[in-house]
């Protein structure tokens, strides 16, 4: 039985049991750390298109999080068109009323790939949360639609998401700000721009107060594919796993907000393209093991 991650926001009592990380079992889910290459090899975005298993997929781009949606959509329209998309749809949802629009809901429904751009993840959850558009995204994911997001569009995928906290001094009780995300993946906290912005302490603080969560820190131009209980790293960058399920001690329960946290025995892994992680038993998977997990088609064409 799963504990509801919404009842485990930072500050709740530390529990000894971990939540098994899990994704909705059907459609592929991709989280990208931001600043993915769009001009040369476009390796990550090319492989996102391959996941649809269609020769010329329709890509719907949601720019809700961005303050410059024209520029963002233009960049993705160009790169996805060059990579072979038959159509790139501008799903320009700016307000909650837009998220109830039959036009935008139908565009999401017609997309083989739904791509959520970066920006402000709080705009994503505020505008899309509880809307017909979000219900359509979830329904599509369950029926096989590829859902992909970068930066804010990746961070919002988890049941509980990070939306703030200083990178340089987050190992203090209550420093990391979290709220409810879209719930496409459970038992995981995703942080983006992870190495480039020095965000290790953010996931360490999360782990100290919520050891049941698996932290996934995505570097720029790095991505993970979630399929069932397997997470596969791909792209040129690094994926950092922060596993706090085995911590042996912390002072967090004795602290007031803002005081420095100590935490012992956090396990970290650095993954690169071709490696993965089993979310059930929390074990690193090598290339041969990934092939045994049924990703041969995607790997062969990557």
* DSSP characters over 19-59: PPPEE-SSS-EEEE-S----SS--HHHHHHHHTTT-SS-EE
**Of these residues, 36, 205, 212, 220, which one is catalytic?**
220
* Residue of 8, 52, 131, 193 marked catalytic: 193
Q: What was the pLDDT predicted at 295?
A: 58
What is the pTM (predicted TM-score) of this model?
0.91
Tell me the average pLDDT of the chain: 91
Q: 13-294 domain in CATH 3.40.50.880?
A: yes
> Within 13 A of 196's CA, how many CA atoms are on the CB side?
15
Each residue of 240-269: pLDDT tens digit? 999 999 999 999 999 999 999 999 999 999
Residue 193 is among the residues annotated as catalytic for this protein: yes
d(CA 234, CA 269) in angstroms, rounded, equals: 15
Q: Does pLDDT of 157 surpass 90?
A: yes
Which pLDDT score is estimated for 18? Answer: 54
The length of the chain, given as a count of residues: 302
* 220 among known catalytic residues: yes
* Dist. CA 17–CA 291, nearest whole Å: 30
151 counts as catalytic: yes
Judged against a pLDDT cut of 70, whether residue 17 lies above it is answered with: no
Task: Report whether 76 contacts 88 (CB < 8 A).
Answer: yes
- Cα–Cα–Cα angle for 32, 36, 41, rounded to 5 degrees: 125
Write the CB contacts of 288 (distance below 8 Å, at least 6 apart in sequence): none
* Active-site residue (options: 18, 52, 111, 151): 151
């Amino acid at each position: 039985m799963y504990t509801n991650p919404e009842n485990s926001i930072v500050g709740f009592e530390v529990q000894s049991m971990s939540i098994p990380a899990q994704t909705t079992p059907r459609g592929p889910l991709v989280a990208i750390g931001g600043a993915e290459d769009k001009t040369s090899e476009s390796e990550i975005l090319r492989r996102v298109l391959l996941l649809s298993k269609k020769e010329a997929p329709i890509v719907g781009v949601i720019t809700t999080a961005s303050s410059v949606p024209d520029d963002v959509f233009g960049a993705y329209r160009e790169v996805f068109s060059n990579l072979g998309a038959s159509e790139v749809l501008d799903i320009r949802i700016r307000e909650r009323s837009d998220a109830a629009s039959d036009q935008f809901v139908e565009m999401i429904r017609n997309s083989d790939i739904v791509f959520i751009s970066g920006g402000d993840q709080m705009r994503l959850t505020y505008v899309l949360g509880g809307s017909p558009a979000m219900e359509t995204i979830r329904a599509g994911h369950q029926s096989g639609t590829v859902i992909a997001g970068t930066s804010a569009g990746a961070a919002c995928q988890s049941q509980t998401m990070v939306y703030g906290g200083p990178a340089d001094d987050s190992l203090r009780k209550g420093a990391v700000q979290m709220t409810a995300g879209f719930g496409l993946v459970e038992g995981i906290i995703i942080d983006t721009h992870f190495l480039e912005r020095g965000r290790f302490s953010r996931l360490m603080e999360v782990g100290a107060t919520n050891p049941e969560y698996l932290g996934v820190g995505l570097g720029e131009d790095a991505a993970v594919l979630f399929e069932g209980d397997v997470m596969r790293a791909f792209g040129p960058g690094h994926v950092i796993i922060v596993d706090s399920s085995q911590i042996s001690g912390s002072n967090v329960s004795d602290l007031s907000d803002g005081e420095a946290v100590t935490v012992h025995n956090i396990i970290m892994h650095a993954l690169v393209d071709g490696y993965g992680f089993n979310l059930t038993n929390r074990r690193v998977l090598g290339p041969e093991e990934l092939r045994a997990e049924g990703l041969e088609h995607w790997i062969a064409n990557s």
